[in-house]
Amino acid sequence: MSEVFNVEEIFGQNVFTLGKMKERLPKNVYKEVVRVMDQGGELSMEAANVVAMAMKEWAVENGATHYTHWFQPLTGITAEKHDSFVAHPDEMGKMLTEFSGKELIKGEPDASSFPSGGLRATFEARGYTAWDITSPAFLKESGCGVTLCIPTAFCSYTGEALDKKTPLLRSMEALSEQALRIVRLFGNTEATKVTASVGPEQEYFLVDEKLYRQRTDLMFAGRTLFGAPAPKGQEMEDHYFGVIRERVGAYMKDLNEELWKLGVTAKTQHNEVAPAQHELAPIYETANIAVDHNQLVMEAMKRVAVHHGMRCLLHEKPYAGVNGSGKHNNWSITTDNGVNLLDPGDTPNENIQFLLVLACILKAVDTHADLLRQSASDVGNDHRLGANEAPPAIISVFLGEQLEDVVRQLIETGAATSVKEGGKLLTGVKTLPDFQKDATDRNRTSPFAFTGNKFEFRMVGSADSIASPNTTLNAIVAEAFCEAADRLEKAEDVDLAVHDLIKEYLTEHQRIIFNGDGYSDEWLAEAEKRGLPNIKSMIEAASTITTDKAVKLFERFGIFTKVELESREEIIYETYAKTINIEALAMIDMAGKQIIPAVVKYSKALADTVNTVKAAGADTSVQTALLKEVSENLAAMQTALAKLKKVEADASAIEDVKAQAFFYKDTVKAAMDELRTPADRLEMIVDKDIWPIPTYGELMFEI
Ligand code: ADP
Ligand code: MG
């Protein structure tokens, strides 16, 4: 057996937890930190100095040599610039490490090379990082040694958010404030804060490093741009929850250890549907920390894979024809006196506060379905949403049998007098216990499903930050709460007004509820009839964030200014265009330098064979037919390659970012598909020893 491993001991080892602060800080400073964490405000400079000193001492004791303000620019990943604790030595040459309160609280990285969507010209390079006291500092162990990471927000010189954390924090405050108004209506005077909790289930693929390095597409685009299907895919349904292979298991073990040390509650691991696809789910936590932790999970997944001679693919669609990867974003809202506002209890029909919250959420999701869809879009996710894989790009809400029945009663009569029970599940075996069934089955095809005491937003892409989906969710629900509270606080008879409001919201927004098969064609038609938006791509969704409706929503709660939204829309087009450009260039490279030369070699071998066979006086029809097929596909590849090069050059010349993004989507992508088709056909007929790149079978099964 391997060495004894104590989860309790290592958990949070690399985190400057509240516990460590309590131990290391003077009582008054500790209290000030807790107060600012809970209620906001600023830490005094004296307190910041004391915290910085304690943090540095702890970090240095644990081997840290550097610190960094760790932030989340609009690249979707994280950024860090390391500074060592080294200070000026005294005249005797002795150096004492240094880290001040000021360095803890504020940083000033050059912002000019991060996406800003025209928010500032490159000569206005100043950007600031500000310590987010609500997310704990931690130590990152990597090739650089140990680095103290301080989670920070990132803003421009003029105060615009240049990151994903700032709007998220703003949305959490808005949600808290408005949700408090709702619980007050029901007599909850104790709660002082309402928090969004998030548990993101992360899917990923693993691939052998040696094979990965032979694939230009995987290295540069994170997904395969060529590749014929393997003889076996996921059709046997034998991978999902299957026995975890030794090599993958060893990887998961190290990954868990690293995450636990970072205070990430890695909880569930299993094989996913596609071969070489897996999932990791943590236990849910405060949205802000969940977002930070999800970034750490993605980083650790990639880093640990390399130590095991593998690569981790977070792309939403690394392989055509098998399942892609997503990230189920489980979301709920809880008061600081322990009430989950999404918990229906045993009798949801009598739980008026729950029904009001539910009605508000349905209204929010229906009103802003476009924004929610947008929040889950990234370039890779275009291969899933509304494409050949679900969930569809149409937002709808699954409530399940029990709640749907309650909602129906409320709409019909204004009151729900009965509730469907789950009943007993009889196993029919004497030695097995019978068990209580849930009142509601699951629905895997719904993009926004109620799952007991939370909503599961299933559209989010595997490579994407979960900041935007949660910012949007918090914002739209805050708005619905706000509008409800505005009316109810004024009502003479609150009970009556609540009932009326629930009935009204449910009636008006019932079109968003859908319990059927979200993958079916009937649903597409039905959704269209209901007038639900079906936005097919990331760039078509981009403009939803700058509509009057969106600007009003986000400005009202101080989450985004119009300028920030416009800049973000521009970044979406830029990101899209750049990504497809890289993919197109990778295809041109592979087709021109690897695939076509290999096929030429193979056709020469075939032609030589035809001649030899002919010279021997034997029948050459088989060889000739094969040669003809190869030549035809080769010619198709040549033509498609020339066309792709041409449209690629055309695309680069377009100046308007939006027009450019659409050209990439409509024209360049089509040309990419045209190049792929004959190449994949050739892969099925060309001699395996000559084919220049690893096949799908090797990539997915040799692990
Ligand atoms: P399910 O089986 O419905 O997918 P799990 O218990 O497996 O639910 O949880 C999936 C994810 O949802 C986990 O990350 C879990 O921590 C998270 N989760 C559970 N309860 C909540 C909640 N109340 N709010 C947010 N996330 C939650
Ligand atoms: Mg789940």
Q: Find the CATH number of the domain harbouring 256.
A: 3.30.590.10
The rounded distance, in Å, linking the Cα atoms of 135 and 463 is 22
Contacts with 302 (C-beta within 8 Å, 6 or more apart), sequence order:
311, 312, 314
Instruction: Give the pLDDT confidence of 356-389 residue by residue, as tens digits.
Output: 999 999 999 999 999 999 999 999 999 999 776 6
* Confidence at residue 495, expressed as pLDDT on a 0 to 100 scale: 94
d(CA 293, CA 258): 12
Which CA distances in Å does 269 have to 249, 252, 253, 276, 282? 10, 8, 10, 13, 9
Same domain for 542 and 585, yes or no, is no
- Looking at the fold, whether 293 and 352 belong to one and the same domain comes out as no
Residue 425 within a domain: no
Same domain, 392 and 531: yes
Distance (Å) of CA 74 to CA 167, 345, 623: 12, 40, 55
Q: Please tell me whether residues 125 and 14 are part of one structural domain.
A: yes
Query: Which residue in this structure is represented by tokens 């750049």?
Result: 578
Ligand 1 residue neighbourhood (C-beta within 6 Å):
197-199, 201, 281-284, 330-332, 340, 451, 453-454
pLDDT digits (tens, 9 = 90+) for 669-680: 999 999 999 999
CA distances from 30 to 26, 102, 382 (A): 6, 18, 47
Decide if 126 is inside a domain: yes
Residues 58 and 146 in one domain: yes
Task: Strands of 272-396 (E only): list them.
Answer: 277-282, 285-286, 310-313, 327-335
Q: Distance (Å, rounded) from C-alpha 151 to C-alpha 163? A: 12
Q: Which ligand is nearest to the CA of 340?
A: 1
Residue ranges making up the domain that contains 683: 575-701
Which residue has its alpha carbon closest to ligand 1 atom 3? 451
Q: In the listed set 533, 560, 587, which residue is the last one of a domain according to the structure?
A: 560
Residue 486, pLDDT above cutoff 80: yes
The answer to whether the CB of 489 falls within 8 A of the CB of 481 is no
Ligand 1 center to 587 CA (angstroms): 40
> CB 673: neighbour CB atoms within 10 A?
11
Exposed/middle/buried for residue 562 (C-beta within 10 Å: 0-12, 13-18, 19+): middle
Percent of the chain at pLDDT > 70 equals 97
> Would you place residue 2 in the very low, low, confident or very high pLDDT band (cuts 50, 70, 90)?
low
With bands split at pLDDT 50, 70 and 90, how would you rate the model's confidence at 124? low
Q: What's the rounded Cα separation, in Å, for the pair 124 and 110? A: 9
Say which residues have a Cβ less than 8 Å from residue 632's Cβ, sequence separation at least 6. Answer: none
Average pLDDT over the chain, rounded to an integer:
93
Give tens-digit pLDDT for 296-329: 999 999 999 999 999 999 999 999 999 999 999 9
* CATH number reported for the structural domain that contains residue 609 in this entry: 1.20.120.1560
Q: How far is CA 534 from CA 317, 343, 361, 457, 531, in A?
A: 21, 30, 20, 16, 9
Question: Are residues 579 and 651 both part of a single domain?
Answer: yes
Confidence of residue 121 (pLDDT cuts 50, 70, 90): low
457's enclosing H/E stretch is: strand 455-457
What residue has token string 């009636």? 507
Looking at the fold, whether 342 and 483 belong to one and the same domain comes out as yes
Calculate how far, in angstroms, residue 413's C-alpha sits from the geometric centre of ligand 1.
33
Confidence of residue 485 (pLDDT cuts 50, 70, 90): very high
Please check whether residue 585 lies inside any domain of the structure.
Answer: yes
Structure tokens at 644: 């792709």
Same domain assignment for residues 660 and 553: no
44 with 30, same domain: the answer is yes
Contact 310, 278 (CB under 8 A): no
Which residues 6+ apart lie within 8 Å of 219 measured at CB? 212, 213
Residue pair 680/228 in contact (Cβ under 8 Å)? The answer is yes
Q: Does the pLDDT of residue 5 top 90, yes or no?
A: no
Is residue 532 one of the residues assigned to a domain?
yes
Q: Is the dihedral of CA 61, 64, 65, 66 positive or negative?
A: negative
Atom of ligand 1 nearest to the CA of 334: 23
Domain end residue (candidates: 560, 594, 627): 560
486's CB contacts (< 8 A; 6+ apart) are: none
pLDDT at res. 418: 85
Alpha-carbon span 446 to 444, nearest angstrom: 6
Of the candidates 325, 351, 370, which is a domain's last residue?
A: 325
Helix (H) or strand (E) holding 485: helix 467-488
Look at residue 389 in the predicted model and tell me its pLDDT.
Answer: 66
- The number of angstroms, rounded, from the C-alpha of 266 to the middle of its chain's C-alpha atoms is 16
Ligand 1 atom with least separation from CA of 453: 23
Q: CB 624: neighbour CB atoms within 10 A?
A: 16
Q: How far is CA 126 from CA 117, 155, 534, 559, 606, in A?
A: 15, 9, 40, 22, 63
Which of 330, 341, 343 is the best mutation target for the ligand 1 pocket, counting ligand atoms within 8 Å of the beta carbon and taking the most? Answer: 330
List own/partner pairs for 296-300 with CB under 8 A and 24 or more apart: 296/138, 296/259, 296/262, 296/264, 297/202, 297/259, 297/264, 297/266, 298/77, 298/202, 298/463, 299/78, 300/255, 300/258, 300/259, 300/262
Is 568 contained in some domain? no
Residue spans of alpha helices (H) in 62-131: 101-105
In whole angstroms, give the CA distance from residue 687 to residue 466: 44
In this structure, the answer to whether residues 172 and 147 fall within a common structural domain is no
CA–centroid distance, 201 to ligand 2, in Å, is 7
How many A from CA of 215 to the centre of ligand 2? 33
Q: Are residues 525 and 640 in the same domain?
A: no
Is the peptide bond preceding residue 391 cis, with omega within 30 degrees of 0?
Answer: yes
Q: State the distance from the centre of ligand 2 to the C-alpha of 281, rounded, in angstroms.
A: 9
pLDDT at residue 484 in the model: 98
H/E stretch holding 610 reads helix 596-615
Q: Taking the CB of residue 600, how many other CB atoms lie within 10 A of it?
A: 13
What is the position in ligand 1's atom list of the atom closest to the CA of 201?
A: 14
Residue 243 lies in a domain: yes
Q: What is the CATH number of the domain that holds 29?
A: 3.10.20.70
C-beta separation of 362 from 493 below 8 A: no
43 & 129 share domain: yes
Atom 24 (ligand 1) nearest CA: 332
- Asked whether residue 519 is domain-assigned, the answer is yes
Tokens (6 digits) for 278: 């897996």
Count: domains in the chain:
4
Q: Greater confidence, 639 or 432?
A: 639
Which residue spans within 122-171 are E strands per DSSP? 127-131, 138-142, 145-156
In a domain, 428, yes or no: no
Q: Which atom of ligand 1 is nearest to the CA of 283?
A: 16
